[in-house]
Amino acid sequence: MIFRTVLSALLLSSTTAFSTHNTNNHPALLQSSSTSSVVTALRAAESEVNFGELDGSDLRIGVLRTRWNDEHVSNLVEGIKAGVTECKVPTENIFIKEVPGAYELPYAAKLLAMSGTVDAIICAGVLIKGETLHFEYISDAVTKGIMDVNLATMTPVVYGVLNCLDEEQVVKRSSNENGGHNHGEDWGKTAVEMAIMRQEALKGKGQKTGKPGQSELAALGFGGGGAGVNKEKPGFF
């Protein structure tokens, strides 16, 4: 038993010494290793979601954003607009409304969803961990509230609230600079994809008989009254 322990220690020591010796005598090897780490970090910052081709040319997207943490949220909104525009949504069909903070997002989202004037909603905000439990309470309430609006109104409401431990984490997720990735771009595309899914479900698109499967749609919570939204501009935008 003692012999095995000593042997393992010797092998570990030799391996460490060999690795150190090689990197010290071969700077290129060390540089290659560092470059590999940087490339890996940059790749990790990119979006891992493939949205494919999305045609949102007939959609209206509502963006509810907070004034709290304004600079970072403004960056996220720019990302949202870029993502939505990439999906062919006309600029005039992107509507933005401000609320004070993240806690107000679910209520504003429900008002907008009930107005029937948009095909999808994106709630954008930033929560940063502080010294008290305020962060946990707000984060939990907002998350549940946004999900409730999704299910209660059958309007896609995208969760675009960053929950971070510090400002550095926020910057990496709200900007494409220095290896970061603006998650707003993904949220914009998600809104378009879910709005299209809702339209297809309500229209019964893809049914072999050409008629909607009313029982299947009812089981999913969809009504049978047809799809589409009132295309009049929301009064409070």
Q: Which conformational region is residue 66 in: left (phi greater than 0), alpha (psi within -120 to 50 degrees), or beta?
A: beta
Helix (H, G, I), strand (E, B) or coil at 38: helix
Q: What is the mean pLDDT of residues 54-64?
A: 98
Element (H, E) at 227: none
What's residue 69's pLDDT?
96
Cite the beta strand spans of 1-109 per DSSP E: 61-66, 94-99
For the record, the structure tokens of 44 come out as: 């990790």
CB 90 within 8 A of CB 57: yes
pLDDT at 91 over 80: yes
Strand-by-strand arrangement of the 61-66 sheet: 94-99, 61-66, 120-128, 157-164
What's residue 40's pLDDT?
36
Q: How many other β-carbons are positioned within 10 Å of the β-carbon of residue 193?
A: 19
| Residue among 103, 68, 74 at smallest CA distance from 182 | 74
- Catalytic residue status for 134: yes
What's residue 123's pLDDT?
98
What's residue 131's pLDDT?
94
| Residue among 197, 188, 194 at smallest CA distance from 91 | 188
What's residue 73's pLDDT?
98
Q: How far apart are CA 213 and CA 202, in angstroms?
A: 10
Name the band, by pLDDT with cuts 50, 70 and 90, for residue 95. Answer: very high
Contacts of 153 (CB under 8 A, 6+ apart): 110, 113, 114
What's residue 188's pLDDT?
98
Mean pLDDT of the chain: 79
Cite the beta strand spans of the chain per DSSP E: 61-66, 94-99, 120-128, 157-164
pLDDT tens-digit profile of 210-237? 444 444 445 544 444 344 455 565 555 4
Using only the alpha carbons of the chain, give its radius of gyration. 24
Q: What is the mean pLDDT of residues 149-157?
A: 97
pLDDT tens-digit profile of 163-208? 999 999 999 999 999 899 999 999 999 999 999 999 999 886 444 4
Q: Which of 21, 134, 181, 183 is catalytic?
A: 134
What's residue 81's pLDDT?
98
According to DSSP, the residues that pair with 99 across neighbouring strands are: 66
Q: What are phi and psi of 157, to 5 degrees?
A: -125, 110
pLDDT tens-digit profile of 100-144? 999 999 999 999 999 999 999 999 999 999 999 999 999 999 999
What's residue 49's pLDDT?
86
The position carrying tokens 């008002």 is 111
According to DSSP, the residues that pair with 124 across neighbouring strands are: 65, 160
What's residue 234's pLDDT?
55
pLDDT tens-digit profile of 8-36? 444 444 444 434 444 444 444 444 444 44
CB 126 within 8 A of CB 149: no
For the ranges 2-6, 72-76, 188-192, the lowest mean pLDDT is seen at: 2-6
What percent of the chain shows pLDDT beyond 70? 66
Q: How far apart are CA 129 and CA 136, in angstroms?
A: 8
What's residue 118's pLDDT?
97
